[in-house]
Structure formats: C-alpha cells, structure tokens
C-alpha cells in the first residue's frame, strides 16, 4: 500500500459510534443533571476518568506513563520505538459547569486513532502518544494549562504546589492523591521528546458551523491582552446635583467605552474586543457613581495589530475624561502563536484527501497547544460545535463532525509518524 491508500484504509477503521459512546461514557463521570459535566482537575472525578482511559489503554497494551504534574501519556509503540513520539491529546478536566466535549474530544479522538491503527493493522515508524494534560481549565487550581505549562518548561511544579482550592486543599496534596491512584507503567523524570503535537478540539466559536465547514486547520492561537480600566469621579445626590457640577463616573465610562469600540473596529472582523465586566461604586439608583471599573479582553492573531490597538487604548484610558480621572493597567499579555505552515498544510491536505470541507482559522481560545508549541512543531484541528457554545452544559458537537476530525487527526499523525517525515 502506498501512503495515500494506507491512510484511506486507516480512516475506514475510525469508528464514529465507538468515539461517540466513549464521549458519553466519559461524560458520566461528574455528570450534571443539566447534561453537562463538573470534573475539575485532580478531583475524585478526574481520578475516575483517568482510570477509564487507563483501562481502555491497558486492553490495547499501550504503555501508561505520567510525570510530576500528573500529565497522563498513553503511548502506542512504533517500529523505531526509541525515536521521538508523535503526540496528540488535550485535557479531561472541565469547568464547574462544563460540557462533554471541550478537552475530552482531543483525548478521545487520540485514543480512537491509536485503536484504529491497531484495527487496521498499521505499524508506524515513530511511536504515537495521547496526552491528557493536567488542569487545563484552572477553575479549581490556578493557573489553567498547568500541565502543558510545566511540560513546556515555562513554569515548575513547585511554583504551584502551595496553591489551594476553595476548600483549602493544596495542589501538592491533590496531585499526590491523583498520582497514587493511577496505575502507570512508569513515572517520567524528564520530559518525553515530542516529534510533533497535534491537538483536536471543538471550535468553541461559531465560524465553522455558520459556514457549514467540517474541519478547521488552525493557523495559530491569537494573542491576548487583558486590561483593567478605572474611572474615578465623585459621588453625589442624584436629585440635588446639577449635571454641570457632576463628576459622574458612569457617563465618563460610557464615553470611553464608546471610543474604545471605535478603536477596536476591524473591517476584517478578526479583532476580538470584549468589555465583559463592569463594576460600579456605590451602584445605587439615586447616587451619582463615584467609580466605574471595567475589563478589556482583546485578541488578534497578529502581534503588530495588538501593539497598535494597545497604544490607542492606553492613550484613551489615561488622564482626565469627563471630569473624572482615568487609569488603565494591563493584567495579561499573551503574544500570538503561529503554528508552522508545514503542520497547517498537513491538516489541510488530510482534510482535502478524505474529503472533508476545510478552512484555515486562528484559535480564539487558549489551549495546551499554545505551550507545547514552544517545544515542538504543533498544530490543531477544530470541529464545529453547536452555536459556538462552550464552557456550558449545553455544549454539543455532532458525532459525524467528531469522527471527521478524528480521521483528519489519524491521517495527520500517521503522516508525521513516518520516519522520513
């Protein structure tokens, strides 16, 4: 069989029903009455979910490894087994009111690829590893993407060991329970070497669904800038204070927010600009507000665009405005990450070969791939999700879309796992 035929053969073994059943089975662990999932990092539910994955892996004879932050590596051997592994995966922890697909899909699609390789009788040159990264959501222990952050070497476990959840349990205690409970083949002391990493994920946005496209070849992860703006005026009686004598923080804030929306205009509709949080003091109907604080979340795939808009935003939010004092501080800076063209093209070609409709798009959300990209050639595959909704119990993806994404993942991984690739 030539490479093309081998991939078509493999894709025939990707089992839509099995993949869907696995999603439903995993979603039982931490299931919410609303149909969603609450399975936070390193919880009893997370441990149960790890047991489920390990059980499936054991039945196929894959090697189970973990590391100091409890990332779970499920490794299918390659013909040249000492070579760097091709990797895929995502995370199995959820938000407190999470859905059944965010994260879970990337892990289950990876396992589906490994099993399809078995079923199709295909041996790859390089091993292939499915990773379940620990604590991507960050809802129980800050920060999020902890497993991939530590894997990438950007941070160390001991920096977070003392971080506690709402009940006062420390990360190190929760980590110990999880590591003790897992039946693994070995504990890695050093980072396994990845040849490449491909993460499959629901889009968590509306673009693919709106355009009726099956596969997103993700070009990178947008850069993000978070700001907090503070507008300080003077509170006074709503009935007695003439308009000309006011320093009304809400009217000043409204003018600023209107100008910021103008600054954020983008005819290409690539810039994302959100003022998600607004806090008014004292927030009483008959008192002129003395303070308004609001947040800005701005994202774009190009660093230069972020720099230019940031300059204009900071200028507008500094100094006096409408009789109030205005200040701004940047609270998060995450530069854009561009995935290598070679990886994006592989995903695109794999989709075209299926065939599945495909478009290139950047990721609006963060993912573990953002940090793994520091270490090895990295890419992502998006599939549509209903109404673009995620981080919500109503999150939904079509079984056929999940399967199409798994086939594109299979084709991409197998291509990368060839010794000359």
Stretch that binds its own copies, among 35-43, 63-71, 151-159, 201-209 (CB under 8 A): 201-209
Q: How many residues in the chain?
A: 421
Site size toward its own copies, by CB under 8 A: 60
- Residue 262 beta carbon to its own copies: minimum distance, rounded to whole angstroms: 11
* Beta-sheet strands, E only, within 51-144: 63-66, 72-76, 85-90, 128-132
Residue 87 or 296: which CB sits closer to its own copies?
296
Q: Which of 65, 112, 165, 248 binds its own copies (CB under 8 A)?
A: 248
Q: Are the C-beta atoms of 417 and 76 separated by less than 8 Å?
A: no
Q: Are the C-beta atoms of 14 and 113 separated by less than 8 Å?
A: yes
Q: Does 5 bind its own copies (CB under 8 A)?
A: no
Between CA 400 and CA 109 the distance in angstroms is 12
Between CA 83 and CA 15 the distance in angstroms is 28
Q: Does 393 bind its own copies (CB under 8 A)?
A: no
Q: Which of 17, 190, 237, 319 binds its own copies (CB under 8 A)?
A: 237
Between CA 183 and CA 263 the distance in angstroms is 54
- Residue 175 beta carbon to its own copies: minimum distance, rounded to whole angstroms: 26
Q: Which of 89, 98, 144, 205 binds its own copies (CB under 8 A)?
A: 205
Q: Does 275 bind its own copies (CB under 8 A)?
A: yes
Q: Does 269 bind its own copies (CB under 8 A)?
A: yes
Between CA 371 and CA 148 the distance in angstroms is 6
Between CA 142 and CA 127 the distance in angstroms is 32
Q: Which of 261, 311, 329, 360 binds its own copies (CB under 8 A)?
A: 261
Stretch that binds its own copies, among 274-282, 311-319, 347-355, 402-410 (CB under 8 A): 274-282
Of 295-314, which residues contact its own copies (CB under 8 A)? 295, 297, 299
Q: Does 324 bind its own copies (CB under 8 A)?
A: no
- Residue 361 beta carbon to its own copies: minimum distance, rounded to whole angstroms: 10
- Residue 214 beta carbon to its own copies: minimum distance, rounded to whole angstroms: 17
Binding mask 88-117 for its own copies (x = CB under 8 A): ------------------------------
Stretch that binds its own copies, among 63-71, 168-176, 199-207, 369-377 (CB under 8 A): 199-207
Binding mask 329-358 for its own copies (x = CB under 8 A): ------------------------------
Binding mask 159-198 for its own copies (x = CB under 8 A): ----------------------------------------
Residue 190 or 286: which CB sits closer to its own copies?
286
Helices 104-120 and 3-13 pack at an angle, to 10 degrees, of 110
Residue 54 or 324: which CB sits closer to its own copies?
324
Q: Does 212 bind its own copies (CB under 8 A)?
A: no
Residue 2 or 286: which CB sits closer to its own copies?
286
Q: Does 34 bind its own copies (CB under 8 A)?
A: no
Between CA 416 and CA 421 the distance in angstroms is 6
Nearest CA to 40 out of 305, 391, 407 is that of: 391
The CA-atom distances, in angstroms, between 294 and each of 275, 276, 283, 312, 314 are 7, 8, 14, 17, 14
Q: Does 139 bind its own copies (CB under 8 A)?
A: no
Beta bridge partners of 87: 129, 197
Residue 68 or 236: which CB sits closer to its own copies?
236
Q: Does 288 bind its own copies (CB under 8 A)?
A: yes
Binding site for its own copies (CB under 8 A): 203-207, 210, 222, 224, 226, 236-245, 248, 250-251, 254-255, 257-258, 261, 264, 266, 269-280, 283-289, 292, 295, 297, 299, 363-366, 388-391
């Amino acid at each position: 069989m030539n490479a093309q035929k081998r991939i078509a053969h493999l894709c025939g073994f990707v089992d839509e029903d099995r993949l869907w059943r696995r999603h439903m089975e995993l979603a039982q662990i931490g299931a919410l009455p609303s149909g969603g999932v609450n399975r936070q990092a390193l919880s009893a539910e997370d441990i149960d979910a790890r047991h489920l994955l390990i059980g499936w892996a054991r039945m196929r004879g894959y090697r189970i490894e973990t590391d100091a932050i409890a990332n779970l590596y499920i490794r299918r051997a390659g013909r040249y087994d000492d070579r760097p592994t091709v990797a895929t995966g995502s995370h199995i922890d959820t938000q407190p009111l999470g859905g059944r697909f965010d994260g879970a899909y990337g892990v289950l699609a990876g396992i589906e690829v490994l099993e399809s390789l078995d079923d199709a009788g295909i041996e790859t040159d390089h091993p292939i590893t499915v990773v379940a990264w620990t604590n991507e959501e960050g809802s129980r222990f800050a920060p999020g993407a902890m497993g991939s952050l530590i894997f990438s070497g950007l941070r160390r476990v001991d920096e977070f060991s003392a971080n506690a959840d709402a009940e006062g349990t420390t990360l190190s205690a929760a980590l110990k329970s999880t590591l003790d409970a897992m039946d693994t083949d070995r504990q890695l002391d050093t980072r396994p070497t990845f040849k490449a990493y491909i993460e499959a994920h629901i889009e968590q946005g509306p673009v693919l669904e709106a355009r009726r496209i099956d596969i997103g070849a993700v070009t990178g992860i947008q850069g993000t800038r978070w700001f907090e703006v503070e507008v300080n005026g003077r509170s006074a009686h709503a009935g007695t204070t003439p308009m000309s004598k006011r320093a009304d923080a809400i009217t000043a804030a409204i003018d600023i927010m209107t100008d910021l929306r103008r600054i954020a205009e983008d005819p290409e509709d690539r810039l994302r600009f959100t003022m998600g949080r607004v806090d008014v003091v004292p927030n009483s109907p008959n008192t002129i507000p003395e303070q308004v604080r609001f947040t800005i979340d701005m994202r774009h795939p190009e660093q230069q665009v972020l720099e230019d808009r940031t300059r204009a935003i900071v200028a507008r939010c500094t100094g006096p405005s409408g009789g109030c004092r205005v200040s701004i501080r940047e609270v998060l800076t995450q530069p854009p990450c561009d995935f290598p063209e070679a990886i994006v093209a592989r995903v695109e070609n794999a989709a075209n070969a299926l065939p599945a409709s495909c478009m290139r798009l950047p990721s609006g959300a963060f993912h573990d791939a953002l940090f793994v990209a520091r270490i090895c050639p990295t890419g992502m595959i998006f599939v549509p999700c209903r109404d673009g909704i995620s981080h919500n119990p109503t999150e939904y993806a079509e079984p056929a879309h999940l399967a199409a994404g798994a086939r594109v993942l299979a084709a991409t991984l197998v291509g990368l796992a060839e010794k000359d690739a």
